[in-house]
Chains A and B, each alone.
Chain A
Amino acid sequence: GENVEQHPSTLSVQEGDSAVIKCTYSDSASNYFPWYKQELGKGPQLIIDIRSNVGEKKDQRIAVTLNKTAKHFSLHITETQPEDSAVYFCAGGGSKQGGKLIFGQGTELSVKP
C-alpha cells in the first residue's frame, strides 16, 4: 500500500525566512497531494493541494511542488511569520487507496520572532 514519509520532524526558522518541508510517497498511482496545518488542540486545516497533472501550485506565500518521477513533493512557505507556527502534515492518495488519504508523520514548524 501507499506509504508517505515526511521530513523534517521539527523545523525552526527566523521570522521572514523560508521554510521547506518534504514528503516522499511510494505508490506511483497516487495522484492527489494535500497539505494540512494543525494548530494546537484544533483539527487540521487544508492550506494547499496539488494534483498529479501539475508540477507546481502557488497561493500567496505558500507553494507546493510535485516531482512525479522521483515521487516526492514539497511545501514552501516564504516570508514566514510567527502565526505560521504549527504542525504541518502532507498526505497522498489515489484510487488504489480506496479513496483514503495517507498522512505523513508531521512537521512541527516554529517561527521565531
Chain B
Amino acid sequence: GAVVSQHPSWVICKSGTSVKIECRSLDFQATTMFWYRQFPKQSLMLMATSNEGSKATYEQGVEKDKFLINHASLTLSTLTVTSAHPEDSSFYICSAREGRQVQETQYFGPGTRLLVL
C-alpha cells in the first residue's frame, strides 16, 4: 500500500518555541492531506484539510494562526505549531489522499509525539 512518512517521530520543546512537523507521501502524489491530533485514549480529531496549492481549511475551534499548515507540493505538507504551550502536547498524525474524493483511500503517517515543557 501507499506510504506516508512523518518527521520527526517525537519532539520535546520549551514553551514559547515553534515546532515544524513534516508529512510526506512517498510513493504517490497527494492532492489532499489532513492533519489530526489525538489525545490518549481518544479518537482522532481533525484539525485541518489542505489541498495542494491552496490555503488549508481549518475545523471549528482550531486556531489557524497557531497551527500553520503549508501544502506546497504534491508530496509534502507541513504543520507548524507556533508559540507552543504545554496544552499543545499531543500526538499529531497526518494522512494523505491521492485525489479529492472522500471514497479514495486515506493513508496515515506514523504520527509525531509533541511534548511541550
Residues of A bordering B, CB below 8 Å: 31-32, 34, 36, 41-46, 49, 51, 89, 93-95, 97-101, 103-106
Contacts and interface: CB of A to CB of B under 8 A. Distances in A.
Q: Which 3 A-B pairs have the closest CB atoms?
A: A93-B102, A43-B108, A32-B103
B43 interface: yes
A94 B104 CA distance: 11
A89 B38 CA distance: 13
A101 B111 contact: no
Interface of B: 1, 4, 6, 32, 34, 42-44, 46, 49, 57, 93, 95, 100-103, 105-111, 113
B102 A43 contact: no
Nearest to A46: B105
Contacts of A94: 102
Nearest to B10: A41
B43 A34 contact: no
B102 A36 contact: no
Contacts of A99: 32, 49, 100-102
Nearest to B9: A41
Contact of A101 (B4, B102, B109): B102
A98 to B, nearest CB: 7
Nearest to A52: B103
B103 A51 contact: yes
A46 B44 CA distance: 14
B53 to A, nearest CB: 16
B78 to A, nearest CB: 17
A99 B106 CA distance: 11
Given A42-B110, A42-B111, A43-B108, A100 B46 contact: yes
A103 B44 contact: yes
A43 B101 contact: no
A87 to B, nearest CB: 9
B1 A46 contact: yes
A98 B49 contact: yes
Given A99-B49, A100-B34, 20 more contacts: A32-B102, A34-B105, A34-B106, A42-B111, A43-B4, A43-B93, A43-B108, A43-B110, A46-B1, A46-B105, A46-B106, A46-B107, A51-B103, A89-B43, A98-B57, A99-B102, A100-B46, A101-B102, A103-B43, A103-B44
